[in-house]
Structure 1
Amino acid sequence: MTQQSVRDSGRRTPSSDRLRQVLVAIGAVVAVVGSFIGSGAAGGTPIAQAAGGALSADATLLAPAGGAFSIWSVIYLGLVGYAIWQFLPAQRADDRQRRLGYPVLLTLVLNAAWILSVQAGLLALSAVVILLLLVSLCWAYGRAIATRGLGRRSALGTLLVDGTLGLYLGWVSVATAANITSFLQFAGFTGFGWSPEGWAIAIVGVAGLVGVLVAVWSRGSISAMLSLAWGLVWIEVSRVSGALPSRPVAMAAFGAAAVVVVATLVARIVAERGRRAEAAR
C-alpha cells in the first residue's frame, strides 16, 4: 500500500465506508430496474422501439442486430454480483473498493439515466448521457487497472470487478458509437459530403482503434475484448442479414473485431512475459 493510500484510508471512517456500500447497492438496483423498463418487461417501451425507433437494428449502418443486446444480461448480473460482494464485511475497508465504489456508482446512475432519456424520446440527451457513461466507465476501469495490486485479491473479486467493468466498457464503447450515429442521422446531419457507408466504416475503424488502445492500457483484458468484438460482430450481422445491408460496413466491422482480438492476445502475452521476467529477477 502506498503512502498516499494510507493517508486516504486514514481519512475514511466505518460510517463512510458503509454509506459507499449502501449507495452502490442502491445504484445497482436502480440500474436493474431501469433495464426492465428499457426491455419493456415493466411496462416501458423497448429500447428498439423508443425514440421513434432511432436505436433499432436497422436505424443506421452502425446499429447492431437485436441479439447483441443480450450481453446486458451478463453485465447486469456482474454488476449485481459486484454490489453484493462489495457489501461483504471483508470489503468494507478494502482500499481498492474505496477507490472503485463511487466511480462504479456513477456508471450505474448514468446507465439508468440513459434508459430514461431514450424512453422519453430525448435522443439528443441520450447521446450526451451515453457519452458521459463512457467517460465514467473509463474512469472506473482506469481505477480498476491502477488498483490491481491493492486489497485482498481473489478469483471472485477479479471476475466481479475487472471482468464486469471490462465487459461494461467494451460494450458501451460500441453502443456510444451507435447512439451518437443515430442522433446525428435523425438530426439531419449530411456528413460533409461523405457517404453514409464512408462514415460508418470510419467510425468502425475508430471503434477498432479504441479496442486496441484498451488492450494495451489494460494489458490484455479479455472481458473488454469480448464485449467490444461482440458488438462489432453484431454490427456485421445486422449489415449482412438486416433490412439495411452493406457489405463494406460488414467487412469493416468484422475486420475491426478481428484486430481487437489479435491486439488483446498480443498485449496479454507481452504483459505475461513481462511479469515472468520481473519475477525471475
Structure 2
Amino acid sequence: MTGTRRGDAVRAAAVLLAAVAQIAGSPLGTALAGRSVGEVSDATRSLVTPAGYAFTIWGPVFALALAWAVYQALPGQRDRAVHRATGWPLAAAFAGNAGWELLFPLAGDRLPVLPAVLLLAIVGAAATAWARLQHAPPAGLPRLLPAAVTGLLLGWVTLAAVVQVASAGVALGAPARGTAAQLWAVGALVAVAGLGAALVLVARVAAGPFALAVVWGLVAVAGAGGPGVVTGAALGAAAVVTAALGARAARRRERGALLVG
C-alpha cells in the first residue's frame, strides 16, 4: 500500500469511527452522567433555546453522516478529491459531537464554558469542510452525501452555538428572563440571520441544507413560547435566511448543486 493509499484508508476509517461514535455518544453520556442532554438543557434554558422538537434534526444528520462514512470508506471511493477535502474536517466535527454528548450531561451546568468551547470548535470544523466543499467539482453522489451532511450540520451547529453560549450564561448566573435577556436574545438572532444569509449568498454548493437547518432552528426558537419580541426576531431571522436562499437561487445557474449538493 502506497503512502497516499494508506493515508486515504486512515482518513476513511477515522470518518467511519467518528460517525459511529457520535451516534453512541448521547446514550453513553446519559448513562455516565445519570441525566440526559435534555435535562441539563432544561435546567439552563434561555430565551433562544428552541422547542424540544428542533433537536430531532440530529436524526437526519446522524443518518446522512453514517451513510456518507460508509460510502467514502469503500475502496473505490477513498481517493476521490471531495472525500479527501472534507474527510478530516468532518471526522473532527463528528468526533467533537461525540465528545460534546459526553461532556454536556456531565458538566453543562457546572462547567458550562467547556461544552461551549467544544461546540465552537465543532462549528469551526464543519465550516472548514463547508469552505472546501464549495470548490469540489460536480461528482453526483460522491459530492451529494458530504454536501448534505455538511450543510445540515453547519446550519444546525451555527444556531446551536448561540444557544449554547446563552445556556452557559444562564448557568453562570446571567438572567434567563427580563429586558436584558430579551435584548441579548434579539441581538443574537440578528447575528444568526446576518451570518446565515451571508453564507447562503456566497455559497455554490449545499446552501439548501444549510438554510434548512438554520431556519428549522429559528422557527423552533419562535415556537418555544418566549416573549413576543424574541418570537418576532426569530421569525424575522428565518425570513431573512429564506430570502437570501431565494435570491441566490435566482442568480445561480447550477441550482441543483446550490439547493441540494
Distance 2:151 2:255 in 1: 22
Does residue 1:266 correspond to 2:247, yes or no?
Answer: yes
Distance 1:169 1:125 in 2: 20
Distance 2:209 2:34 in 1: 30
User: Which of 6, 13, 25 is equivalent to 1:22?
Assistant: 13
1:213–1:19 distance in 2 versus 1, CA, 3 Å = same
Look up the match of 2:24.
33
Count residues in correspondence: 250
1:210–1:102 distance in 2 versus 1, CA, 3 Å = same
1:221–1:273 distance in 2 versus 1, CA, 3 Å = closer
- Offset at residue 41 of structure 1 (A): 8.0
User: Which of 79, 88, 100 is equivalent to 2:74?
Assistant: 88
Look up the match of 2:117.
128
User: Which of 57, 60, 68 is equivalent to 1:74?
Assistant: 60
Look up the match of 1:50.
40
Distance 2:49 2:240 in 1: 20
Distance 2:255 2:98 in 1: 40
Relative contact order, higher structure (CA 8 A, sep 6+): 2
Q: Give the conservation status (yes or no) of the 8 Å contact 1:215–1:221.
A: yes
User: Which of 212, 216, 223 is equivalent to 2:197?
Assistant: 212
Does residue 1:246 correspond to 2:236, yes or no?
Answer: no
The runs of 5 or more residues in structure 1 that have no matched partner are 1-10, 240-244, 276-281
Look up the match of 2:259.
none
- Offset at residue 20 of structure 1 (A): 1.0
Distance 2:166 2:47 in 1: 9
CA RMSD in angstroms comes to 2.4
Q: Give the conservation status (yes or no) of the 8 Å contact 2:112–2:172.
A: no
TM-score of the superposition, structure 1-length normalised? 0.82
Between 92-101 and 24-33, report the one with greater CA deviation. Answer: 92-101
The runs of 5 or more residues in structure 2 that have no matched partner are 257-261
User: Which of 45, 51, 65 is equivalent to 1:65?
Assistant: 51
Distance 2:162 2:144 in 1: 26
Q: Give the conservation status (yes or no) of the 8 Å contact 1:107–1:133.
A: yes
Look up the match of 1:185.
170
Distance 1:35 1:238 in 2: 23
Look up the match of 2:128.
139
Distance 1:214 1:47 in 2: 29
- Structure with greater Cα Rg: 1
Distance 2:26 2:36 in 1: 10
Q: Secondary structure at the match of 1:67?
A: helix
TM-score of the superposition, structure 2-length normalised? 0.88
- Offset at residue 185 of structure 1 (A): 2.1
